[in-house]
Amino acid sequence: MTARDEPSPLAGLDAVDWSLRWDCEGAVDRVPSLLRQLWTGSSGTVGELRRRLAPDHSLHTCVAVRDATPAAVPFLVRLAQDSRTPKRGLVLDLLLRIADAVADGPVETCFGRWPEAWLTACGRALSRTGVEEWFALLDSTRDGDRRRDVLRLLAIGRWFDKGGLMFRLWQSVLDASDAGHLAERLIGLAYATRGRARPCDDADAWAVELSNWLEQRPYPSSADTGDAVSIALRHLPGWIDTGTVDALADLVHDEPRSGEADAPRTG
């Protein structure tokens, strides 16, 4: 099958009842239209999608969401994964913006409603859409920033998964090709153990450190990465035995890391 023959990332778009999916500007018909325009390469559509799906909240320092946001997430995932998508990097940025809103949890009402149900639906969509494609990208890309983006999406999606995604993340740790990839995946796996957003307390400080490392631009220094790995090794899933954790620590600290030398983001 050639790229031209592959299914469209918008397959199923017409099966969604958009008449019940209000966006953040009060419309019910623009989001599916904009997704189609995005796929065909029309300019300006990502900016309008951001305003309609995940704008800045008008009163608080957070992102607003509405009915259309979770409905659009599966299509944004597939668009971000498809090499044929124009402005693919901008689509990924929008998807990460929504994922980070999910990670932050509900902060304030959106359009007269507490947004927890919308954010939960976004998280579930992340946990169910294109998971194996994300892992394939994690293995294939030489872009260290993009790998960390993928790990953020997988970790946040894991909070809404029933368990399989955590074990898939663990398998990716075991499959890491070098110490740099191992470090990234250990950090992603540990961040995935945090679970859904809740009122912050001192116990969450470690998760904030890992989140900051995953989001940092440019690629973090070896010292910053070493600090994040040390935190991650203390917060791996409890079913990983101490001997295995010690062996992972030896592997990740004894070899040179390759992540920060990878190619910059493209596409």
Q: Is 235:190 a contact under the CB 8 Å cutoff?
A: yes
Whether 212 is in a domain gets the answer: yes
Report the C-alpha gap between 143 and 68 in whole angstroms.
31
Picking from 100, 129, 158, the residue at the C-terminal end of a domain is 129
Report the candidate in 121, 236, 117 with the shortest Cα–Cα distance to residue 188.
236
Place of tokens 């596409």: 267
Whether 9 is in a domain gets the answer: no
- At 68-100, the pLDDT tens digits run 999 999 999 999 999 999 999 999 999 999 999
- At 13-52, the pLDDT tens digits run 999 999 999 999 999 999 999 999 999 988 789 999 999 9
**How many domains are there within the chain?**
2
CB atoms within 10 A of CB 49: 23
Res 15: pLDDT: 96
| 217 and 108 both lie in a single domain | no
Whether 5 is in a domain gets the answer: no
* CB neighbour list of residue 76: distance below 8 Å, 6 or more residues apart: 91, 94, 95, 98
| 157 and 229 both lie in a single domain | yes
* First-to-last C-alpha distance (Å) of the chain: 22
| 110 and 40 both lie in a single domain | yes
| 124 and 168 both lie in a single domain | no
| 60 and 156 both lie in a single domain | no
| 241 and 110 both lie in a single domain | no
Question: Mean per-residue pLDDT for 235-242?
Answer: 96
- Domain extent, residue 77, equals 20-129
Report the candidate in 125, 199, 134, 225 with the shortest Cα–Cα distance to residue 172.
134
| 86 and 169 both lie in a single domain | no
Res 267: pLDDT: 39
Picking from 110, 129, 148, the residue at the C-terminal end of a domain is 129
Picking from 84, 105, 129, the residue at the C-terminal end of a domain is 129
Whether 4 is in a domain gets the answer: no
Question: Mean per-residue pLDDT for 162-172?
Answer: 93
| 154 and 64 both lie in a single domain | no
